[in-house]
Amino acid sequence: MKSLNELVLRNFDQSRARTLLTALSVSIGVAIITATGVFESGIKATWGGGEGPADFIVNLTSILFTGVGGMILLAAGFLIFNAFAMTVTQRQKQIGMMRALGMTRNQVMRLILLEALATGGIGTIIGLLLGQPFGQAILSSMGQFGFEAGRGSLRLQDVLLAIFLGMGITLFASLVPARRAASVSPMTALKETDDAKHITKVEFRSPKTMAGFIVGILIWAWLLIAPPGEWSGYHPPLDLILLQAVGIIWLFAVILLAPYLFQKAADWVKPLLWKFGGISGRLAADNLQRNPARLTLTALSFAIGISVLVGAAGLVSFQNDVLLGETSKNALREAGWYIYAFDRSSGVAQLSSFGNNAVSLDPAVIDAIYEIVGDRAEVGAFYLVSVPEISAPTMGFPSFLMNATEAERFHRPEVFNLIEGNRDEMVRLLSQPGCAITTSTSIAAKFNISAGETISVTGINGKKVDCIVAGLGVYGVTPVSWISPGALELFVPEGRTPSTITIHPRADTDRAALEAEIFKLEQRFPGKAFPANAEQEVRAVTDTSDQLMVIFNGMLFLAIVGAAFGMLNTVMVSILERQKEIGLLRAVGSTRGQIMNMLILESVLTGIFGVLVGALMGFGWAAISALTMGGIAWTLPNLDLRAAAWVVLTPAFLNGWWAFIASPLMAGLIAYPVAHSAVRGSAVDALQPERRDSISAISKRAMNPRLTRPSG
């Protein structure tokens, strides 16, 4: 074991750059996962350490952030596989010599796995150290939108999850290269290795390509012919499970197709490069076709990052543009006003006011509202309460307890869209003492209940409360659960005032005059009263999602950075393997500029190929979100899911367009210093294998060009 450890340390010393780049890729994913816990604890600290009525945003954001970390670690897995596969190829003679000297297959495999675990361990440690400051940076970035969060802290469960994923993915990704290394024969030490002879052209009829094609066709045939979103919402959380399961299957279908797609892309650009690219373009075209496996792994690192950017935007668009757009029609028809105790139009900043003790209106504001309105409108009121059993449309979403005026308005079809139940009976139940609720069809399916039946939920101080289901449907903008005024003392602490006042004008009221008086409340009670009309109410929801998406995109950019590490690693190893070839090109008359252009062009084209396949993955995920989740959870059982899947593609593209440009540019920029180092020295030096540089030397020269001077 000691000798194996010494070999690991020696190999690290010989390939410092590869080890560092691979470890950094792992560290980014680990840092995001641990930062998620810091983010969540910081939000909780803002609410005094307790739960708030906006916990659903914390839950959703935590899921998204953890998902990003997982996807970055997945991309790091491709990098690890790529790095160690190339390392095994490069060290075949060395491994063959060790086998000839008595090293067993098991010892060779353990050597590669130990190197991988040590690399993953370094990355995991760096990621854990970065988790706290990175999480705090995310909280600080929310301050740009007016949200002042508390200080977050690392949570043990997030640390353990990050260690498990970081080390687990590293180990899993290195298994195949380790097995390949163990299969190297001792006879390899006696002959020159030629990796090219193992490379075969990827045929469409190959088992992997056909499997990816068939799986992809079957998935989309099922999704388009019989979208599961038409029924999955009746069985929560099956809609979310299907979203994840189908998304993963689609990911692996594209990965199986990727070698063939990249090869076809290289075939397609080859005539163009030969015609317009000069000698550099011709060489780059040939090199892209030289090793399909390496091209695939490198490009997939970019593809994963792009796909998450595009797919996440599609999911948010489905919620904002489709679901919210449909359910808000009733609210806009009502065209009333809302008075909040916090600034509803402030987007993310409003979350600062969502602590349980900070969402109640000042009694003086309430008195002023009644004084202004008089008999010109109906004045309703409701309280935000946390009732986990009936949280809709998502886990952690607050429920609303209404006053008698709001309950009476449920008589009107334009106010409450009744899906199941009798309207007169529903209003009667909502108006009597005790607890009655209206909720979404998804909650009803979750507990297998229907209108007229009873459900047990959690009230004040954890006490159980039996509530009768008065009806199933949606009121206002989102399909939240509503609780009858007769249950006030069961869910609202004594002395607490309403969270929001609603004002609904009568038909003969001068709306403009009343609105002008209502909006003067903001000046009369600065920081205590925030009026909003129906359009502003809808916009407040979408603005919050959009601002969170900006922060989310900032994190996703790290996925592109992780892919850049993979590209840099690949370019360095590729150049090392081709030093003799580069020297030969120099000897027959190629200039330094032509060779640099060749290497940079290869990297840029690889980035473009990754962008195209990433867009394919991401657009698929965006459409899958609509087709698997559907509108049932939002009480939209008749939503046209095929049309919705088409609608979300444009916002998905608009969110990721910058990454489509950034990825190829980044690929070219990172290739430049390495390509610059490759053309230093004389052609004679490059033609002598015994004088070829190590990866460490190439990386040092790329970072510090003054270490060597051009010659020859």
Give tens-digit pLDDT for 117-165: 888 899 899 989 988 888 888 777 776 666 666 677 888 888 888 898 8
Amino acid sitting at position 701: R
Q: What residues have CB less than 8 Å from 74, skipping those under 6 apart?
A: 169, 304
Residue-by-residue DSSP string for 290-347: T-HHHHHHHHHHHHHHHHHHHHHHHHHHIIIIIIHHHHHHHHHHH--EEEESS-GGGG
The larger pLDDT score, comparing residue 53 to residue 202, is at: 202
CA-closest candidate to residue 29, choices 81, 78, 67:
67
According to the model, what pLDDT value does residue 699 have? 47
β-pairing, 436-439 with 464-475? parallel
Lowest mean pLDDT among 53-67, 73-87, 147-161, 165-179: 53-67
Q: What is the mean pLDDT of residues 617-621?
A: 92
d(CA 666, CA 662): 6
Question: Which secondary-structure segment (H or E) carries 12?
Answer: helix 2-14
CA–CA dist 46, 562 (Å, integer): 32
Distance CA(191)–CA(206), nearest Å, equals 31
pLDDT at 690: 47
Residue 342: the pLDDT is 78
Instruction: Report the DSSP pairing between strands 416-420 and 500-505.
Output: unpaired
pLDDT-derived band of residue 702, with 50, 70 and 90 as boundaries? very low
Q: Which residues contact 496 (CB under 8 A, 6 or more apart)?
A: 360, 383
Contact 397, 480 (CB under 8 A): yes
Which of 13-17, 388-392, 417-421, 531-535 is least confident? 13-17
Cβ(536)–Cβ(383) under 8 Å? no
- Higher-confidence position of 659 and 408: 408
Q: 181-195: per-residue pLDDT in tens? A: 888 777 765 565 444
Asked which of 26-40, 351-365, 391-405, 454-468 is least confident by mean pLDDT, the reply is 351-365
Query: CB neighbours (10 Å) of residue 433?
Result: 9
Q: Which of 308-322, 334-348, 375-389, 527-541 has the lowest mean pLDDT?
A: 334-348
pLDDT of residue 468: 95
Strand pairing of 337-340 and 482-483?
unpaired
Is the pLDDT at 18 greater than 60? The verdict is: yes
User: ∠ CA 173-567-273 to the nearest 5 degrees?
Assistant: 125
Contact at 8 Å (CB) between 131 and 154? yes
Say whether pLDDT at 170 is over 50: yes
Quick: pLDDT tens for 429-468. Answer: 999 999 999 998 878 888 888 899 999 999 988 899 999 9
Q: What are the phi and psi torsion angles at 391 (to 5°)?
A: -65, 120
- Tokens representing residue 49 in the block: 């350490």
Given pLDDT bands bounded at 50, 70 and 90, which one contains residue 506? confident
> What is residue 147's predicted lDDT score, i.e. its pLDDT?
65
Q: How far is CA 184 from the centre of its chain?
A: 40
Query: Euclidean distance between the first and final Cα of the chain, in Å?
Result: 46
Q: Is the pLDDT of residue 705 over 60?
A: no
Secondary element (H or E) of residue 617? helix 592-629
What is the CA angle 141-300-15, rounded to 5? 90
* pLDDT score for 61: 66
Q: Is the pLDDT of residue 641 over 90?
A: yes
Residue 46 pLDDT class (50, 70, 90 cuts): low
Q: 323 — phi, psi (to 5°)?
A: -65, -55
Name the one residue in this structure whose structure tokens are 């007016």: 146
Task: Tell me: pLDDT of 346 over 70.
Answer: no
Q: What are phi and psi of 379, to 5 degrees?
A: -110, 115
Cα separation, 697 vs 683, in Å, equals 17
Q: State the DSSP code for 482.
A: E
pLDDT of residue 710: 42
Determine the average pLDDT of the residues in 642-667.
83
Q: Determine the pLDDT at residue 368.
A: 94
At 194 the three-state DSSP class reads coil
Cβ atoms of 176 and 77 within 8 Å: the answer is: no
